[in-house]
């Protein structure tokens, strides 16, 4: 990816707000999402200026996995993807959507 002539390359790593907000029954999920975030941020430093890395840590996204949970500030998958693509190349990590930025404060 670093050697692509004239083209910027980017990698989006999907983390989760669960990396910092524990949710019963999702211990391994949260731990893996924490790893994804750390790994992406580390690679961002290692390949700074060559490859853009973005760690996205969204809150509730409307998927089959989230059915049956009480959800605050839920967004659609398309909203999550759109927000991530807009952030790529500008920052190294983001909650992905303004609603999820608010959710991390609550």
Structure token digits, residue 104:
């991390």
What does the pLDDT read at residue 22?
A: 73
Q: Could you report the per-residue pLDDT of 85-102, keeping only the tens digit for each?
A: 999 999 999 888 888 777
Contact (Cβ atoms closer than 8 angstroms) between residue 2 and residue 11: no
DSSP state of 49: T
Per-residue model confidence (pLDDT) at position 43? 95
Q: Indicate if the pLDDT at residue 4 is higher than 90.
A: no
pLDDT-based confidence at 44, cuts 50/70/90? very high
Fold of 9-105: Rossmann fold (3.40.50)
Transcribe 4-64 into DSSP letters.
-TT--EEEEEE--GGGTS--TT-HHHHHHHHHHHHHHHHHHHHTTTTEEEEEE----B-SG
pTM higher than 0.85 for the full model?
no
Where in the chain are the domains? 9-105
């Amino acid at each position: 990816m670093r050697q692509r002539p004239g083209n910027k390359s980017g990698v989006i790593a999907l983390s989760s707000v669960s990396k910092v907000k524990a949710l019963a029954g999702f211990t391994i999920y949260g731990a893996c999402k924490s790893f994804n975030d750390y790994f992406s941020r580390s690679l961002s430093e290692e390949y700074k200026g060559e490859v853009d890395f973005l760690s996205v840590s969204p809150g509730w996204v409307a998927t089959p996995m989230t059915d049956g949970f009480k959800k605050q500030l839920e967004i659609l998958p398309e909203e999550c993807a759109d927000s991530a693509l807009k952030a790529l190349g500008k920052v190294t990590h983001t909650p992905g959507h303004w609603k999820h930025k608010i959710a991390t404060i609550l």
